[in-house]
A and B are shown apart, each in its own frame.
Chain A
Amino acid sequence: MTEAILQAQGLHKKFDEVYAVKGVSFDIKAGEIFSLLGPNGAGKTTTISMLSCLLTPTEGDAKVDGFSVTGEANQVKQAIGVVPQEIALYPTISAKENLQFWGRMYGLRGKHLQERVDATLDIAGLADRADGKVETFSGGMKRRINIAVGLLHNPKILFMDEPTVGIDPQSRRRILDTVQELNKLGLAVLNTTHYMEEAQELSDRIGIIDNGELIATGTLDELIKMVGEYDTVRLCLDVDGQKIEDVIEPLKSLPEVKQVSPGEDCVMIQVPDSENILGDMVGRVTQAGAHIRSLEIQEPNLEAVFLHLTGRALRD
Chain B
Amino acid sequence: MIARILEIARLYLFTMYQSRSMLLFGFVLPLLFTFVVGQAIVGFEPADGQQSWSLAVVNADVGDLGQQLIERLNDDPSLAAVATEESEAVRQVEREEVAAALFIPADFSSRMLAGENLDLGFQMNLAEPISAQVVEQVVLAALSEVNSWLTIADSAVEIASQIGLFDTSIGVGQAEYFDDAVIAGQEALQEMPPVVVESRQGVREAESQGGIPSGVGQTSPGMLVIFTMFTVLGGAAGLLREREEGTLRRLLVMPMNKITILAGNMLGMFVVSVTQTLILILGAVYLFGTDWGNELVALAIMILVYGFSITGLAILIASLVRSYAQLDALSAIIVIPMAGIGGAMWPIEIVPPFMQQLSLFVPTGWAMRGFHDIITRGLGVESILLEAGVLLLTGAVFMLIGLWRFRYE
Residues of A within 8 A of B (CB): 52-54, 73-75, 77-78, 80, 82, 84-90, 92-93, 101-102, 104-107, 109, 149
Please determine whether A82 and B255 come into contact, CB atoms closer than 8 angstroms.
Answer: no
Query: Is B193 an interface residue when CB atoms closer than 8 A count as contact?
Result: no
Chain A residues with CB under 8 A of B249: 54, 84, 88
> What is the chain A residue whose CB lies nearest that of B8?
A105
Please determine whether A77 and B254 come into contact, CB atoms closer than 8 angstroms.
Answer: yes
Please determine whether B255 and A104 come into contact, CB atoms closer than 8 angstroms.
Answer: no
User: A104: which of B7, B15, B19 is its contact (CB, 8 Å)?
Assistant: B7
User: Are A88 and B247 also in contact (CB < 8 A) when A74-B255, A80-B253, A101-B11 are?
Assistant: yes
User: B4: which of A89, A105, A149 is its contact (CB, 8 Å)?
Assistant: A105
Chain A residues with CB under 8 A of B247: 88-90
- Alpha-carbon gap, A54 to B407, bound state (A): 12
Interchain nearest-CB distance for A66 vs B (Å): 16
Q: Give 26 CB contacts A-B under 8 Å.
A: A54-B253, A54-B409, A73-B255, A75-B255, A77-B254, A77-B255, A80-B253, A84-B246, A84-B249, A85-B246, A86-B246, A88-B247, A88-B249, A88-B250, A90-B247, A92-B18, A92-B19, A93-B11, A93-B14, A93-B18, A102-B250, A104-B3, A104-B7, A105-B251, A105-B256, A106-B254
> What is the chain A residue whose CB lies nearest that of B256?
A105
Please determine whether B255 and A107 come into contact, CB atoms closer than 8 angstroms.
Answer: yes
- Alpha-carbon gap, A109 to B3, bound state (A): 10
Please determine whether A149 and B7 come into contact, CB atoms closer than 8 angstroms.
Answer: no
Please determine whether B15 and A149 come into contact, CB atoms closer than 8 angstroms.
Answer: no
User: Are A84 and B250 also in contact (CB < 8 A) when A104-B3, A104-B7 are?
Assistant: yes
Interchain nearest-CB distance for A91 vs B (Å): 8
Query: Is B245 an interface residue when CB atoms closer than 8 A count as contact?
Result: yes
> What is the chain A residue whose CB lies nearest that of B250?
A88
> What is the chain B residue whose CB lies nearest that of A133?
B18
> What is the chain A residue whose CB lies nearest that of B264?
A105
Interface string of B231-254 (1 = CB under 8 A from A): 000000000000001110111111
- Alpha-carbon gap, A102 to B252, bound state (A): 11
User: B15: which of A84, A85, A90, A106 is its contact (CB, 8 Å)?
Assistant: A90
User: A93: which of B4, B15, B245, B254 is its contact (CB, 8 Å)?
Assistant: B15
Please determine whether A104 and B246 come into contact, CB atoms closer than 8 angstroms.
Answer: no
Please determine whether B7 and A105 come into contact, CB atoms closer than 8 angstroms.
Answer: yes
Please determine whether B253 and A77 come into contact, CB atoms closer than 8 angstroms.
Answer: yes
Chain B residues with CB under 8 A of A87: 245-246
Q: Which 10 A-B pairs have the closest CB atoms?
A: A88-B246, A88-B250, A77-B255, A86-B246, A82-B253, A105-B254, A74-B255, A104-B7, A52-B253, A88-B247
- Alpha-carbon gap, A92 to B12, bound state (A): 12
Please determine whether A106 and B7 come into contact, CB atoms closer than 8 angstroms.
Answer: no
- Alpha-carbon gap, A86 to B242, bound state (A): 12
Q: A93-B15, A101-B7 are in contact. List 11 more A-B contacts (CB 8 A).
A: A53-B253, A75-B255, A77-B255, A84-B249, A89-B247, A90-B15, A90-B247, A93-B11, A93-B14, A105-B8, A105-B254
Chain B residues with CB under 8 A of A75: 255
Interchain nearest-CB distance for B33 vs A (Å): 27
- Alpha-carbon gap, A87 to B246, bound state (A): 7
- Alpha-carbon gap, A101 to B12, bound state (A): 11
Chain B residues with CB under 8 A of A77: 253-255
Chain A residues with CB under 8 A of B14: 93
Chain B residues with CB under 8 A of A85: 246
Please determine whether A104 and B18 come into contact, CB atoms closer than 8 angstroms.
Answer: no
Please determine whether A104 and B250 come into contact, CB atoms closer than 8 angstroms.
Answer: no
Interface string of B313-343 (1 = CB under 8 A from A): 0000000000000000000000000000000
- Alpha-carbon gap, A87 to B244, bound state (A): 11
> What is the chain A residue whose CB lies nearest that of B261?
A105
Of A73, A84, A105, most buried by chain B (CB within 10 Å of CB) is A105
Chain A residues with CB under 8 A of B3: 104, 109
Which residues of chain B (70-119) have a CB below 8 Å from chain A? none
- Alpha-carbon gap, A87 to B247, bound state (A): 8
> What is the chain A residue whose CB lies nearest that of B251?
A105
Interface string of B1-37 (1 = CB under 8 A from A): 0011001100100110011000000000000000000
Interface string of B153-169 (1 = CB under 8 A from A): 00000000000000000
Please determine whether A106 and B255 come into contact, CB atoms closer than 8 angstroms.
Answer: yes
Chain B residues with CB under 8 A of A86: 245-246
Interchain nearest-CB distance for A230 vs B (Å): 41
- Alpha-carbon gap, A295 to B11, bound state (A): 56
Chain A residues with CB under 8 A of B252: 54
Of A54, A80, A88, A90, most buried by chain B (CB within 10 Å of CB) is A88
> What is the chain B residue whose CB lies nearest that of A74?
B255
- Alpha-carbon gap, A106 to B4, bound state (A): 9
Interchain nearest-CB distance for B152 vs A (Å): 76
- Alpha-carbon gap, A230 to B409, bound state (A): 45
> What is the chain B residue whose CB lies nearest that of A82?
B253
> What is the chain B residue whose CB lies nearest that of A101?
B11
- Alpha-carbon gap, A84 to B253, bound state (A): 10
- Alpha-carbon gap, A82 to B247, bound state (A): 12
Chain B residues with CB under 8 A of A53: 253
Interchain nearest-CB distance for A134 vs B (Å): 11
- Alpha-carbon gap, A152 to B247, bound state (A): 16
Chain B residues with CB under 8 A of A74: 255-256
User: A78: which of B11, B245, B255 is its contact (CB, 8 Å)?
Assistant: B255
- Alpha-carbon gap, A102 to B250, bound state (A): 9
Chain A residues with CB under 8 A of B15: 90, 92-93
Interchain nearest-CB distance for A117 vs B (Å): 14
- Alpha-carbon gap, A90 to B246, bound state (A): 10
> What is the chain A residue whose CB lies nearest that of B4?
A105
> What is the chain A residue whose CB lies nearest that of B11?
A101
Chain B residues with CB under 8 A of A90: 11, 15, 247
